[in-house]
Amino acid sequence: MKKRVENWPEQLRDLWPGEIEWNSGMASWCTLRVGGPARAIATPASRAELQSLLALLARLGVCWRVIGRGSNLLVSDAGYEGVIIMLGRKFSAIEKLAREKAGEVKVQVEAGCSLMKLVNWCAGQGLAGLEFAAGIPGSVGGAVVMNAGAWGKEMSEALSAVTFSGRSGELLEKKRDELAFSYRHLETEGLIVTGAEFLLQDGEQQAIEEKISRFLCTRKEKQPQGVASAGSFFKNPPGLPAGKLIQDAGLKGLRLGGAQVSEVHANFFVNTGSATAQDFLDLMRLVQEKVGERFGVWLEPEVHLL
């Protein structure tokens, strides 16, 4: 990468017209509610703003990372000495495409759209296929990159194409069969997801809404409520729920500093109020070691570290 230009913050402020927040604590932007400050958080409102931002950051030699709603992120206490690019609510249009086949509808969505907003929009339109995603926090972009899933279904099954932006802003569309999805992962090769196209089925609004309510109720029963978490902390090893391994290793409720293995669901790590990112890292390592010693399985984090 090019050497960083010393007065990059001033140049960024002067040359890029979009919204920037300076030295903002990442704890406010992540559902785990930990993380030090990012030097800058830039929120492009359009693809054109994103493109000009990427071109400028490349010229200034500034590192960046794109995030959605921070619901799967553990940001270090030291924060991030670069630019966090947030695809937020201004980047969130939903559009129904012309019907190609009876019974099926394609929907194009910008990456910053909240996944729950999309799920509710689909229900309102009588479109089935994304009900499983009800209650998964985060953005559509984040859900595509994470190949988010629940109840045996995942994003890859409902997608027909994904649009990306390259590191210098060039746009690229990949069809479903060109995309390498695996469990909680899409191979992005460092590209930014700017939009997604879903292939959905005509359905009955009431039946879709009932399914969504059932999924939301089950979440309420099985997952901790009203506490800061990032959902499942670890990926499930093949055939074995990580939560069961953690529970059977006797670690439910284990606490280090302000980070705790949830009493309700052992694969959720929760912030009891005063946690630091280091508390979560220490707890992660301890749980990995104890589960490893007991069952010979090394748990891999699902949460992304930044």
Ligand X SMILES: Cc1cc2nc3c(=O)[nH]c(=O)nc-3n(C[C@H](O)[C@H](O)[C@H](O)COP(=O)(O)OP(=O)(O)OC[C@H]3O[C@@H](n4cnc5c(N)ncnc54)[C@H](O)[C@@H]3O)c2cc1C
Point out the catalytic residue in the list 71, 165, 232, 262. Answer: 232
Instruction: Decide if residue 90 touches ligand X (CB under 6 A).
Output: no
d(CA 140, CA 104): 20
CB-CB contact of 100 with 59 (8 Å): no
Distances (CA, A) of 213 to 16, 71, 159, 200, 202: 43, 21, 23, 19, 19
Alpha-carbon dihedral sign for residues 219, 224, 226, 232: negative
For residue 302, indicate whether it is catalytic.
yes
C-beta closer to ligand X: residue 31 or 276: 31
Catalytic residue among 33, 39, 69, 184: 184
The least CB distance from residue 99 to ligand X, in Å, is: 27
Q: How many residues bind ligand X (CB under 6 A)?
A: 31
Report if residue 18 touches ligand X, rule: CB under 6 A: no
- Where does this chain touch ligand X (CB under 6 A) — which range of 62-70, 173-181, 205-213, 275-283? 62-70
Q: Is residue 162 part of the contact set for ligand X (CB under 6 A)? A: no
Instruction: List the one residue out of 17, 20, 120 whose CA is nearest residue 64.
Output: 20
Of 44, 138, 258, 301, the one binding ligand X by CB under 6 A: 138
Q: How many CB atoms lie within 10 A of CB 124?
A: 11
CB of 265 or CB of 276, closer to ligand X: 265
Annotation says 24 is catalytic: no
Applying CB under 6 A, does 73 fall inside the site for ligand X? yes
* Site for ligand X contains 51 (CB under 6 A): no
Which of 43, 51, 92, 139 is the binder for ligand X (CB under 6 A)?
139
Told to check if 231 binds ligand X by CB under 6 A, we report: yes
Query: Which of 40, 53, 60, 87 is close enough to bind ligand X by CB under 6 A?
Result: 87
Distance between start and end Cα atoms, the chain: 19
65 lies in the site for ligand X, by CB under 6 A: yes
Work out which of 52, 76, 120, 188 binds ligand X, going by CB under 6 A: 188
Pairing of strands 64-67, 80-86: parallel
Residue 148: CB minimum distance to ligand X, A: 3
Site for ligand X in 118-137 (CB under 6 A): 136-137
CA dihedral 280, 85, 17, 171 (to 10 degrees): 180
In the complex, least distance from residue 186 CB atom to ligand X, rounded to whole angstroms: 9
- 10 Å Cβ neighbour count for 173? 12
**Minimal CA–CA distance to 113: which of 97, 83, 128, 133?**
133
Sheet containing 268-271: give its strands across: 228-232, 268-271, 259-261, 255-256
Smallest separation, CB 114 to ligand X (Å): 8
Which amino acid is located at 16 in the chain? W
Q: Does residue 109 belong to the site contacting ligand X (CB under 6 A)? A: no
List 62, 105, 192, 212, residue binding ligand X (CB under 6 A): 192
Q: Is 35 in the site for ligand X (CB under 6 A)?
A: no
Does 146 help bind ligand X (rule: CB under 6 A)? yes
What is each CA distance from 291 to 3, 138, 234, 245, 249, in whole angstroms?
A: 43, 29, 12, 7, 6
Closest CA to 191 of 50, 296, 286: 50
Binding site for ligand X (CB under 6 A): 31, 65-73, 87, 111, 136-139, 141-143, 145-146, 148-150, 188, 192-193, 229-231, 304
The residues that are catalytic are 184, 232, 302
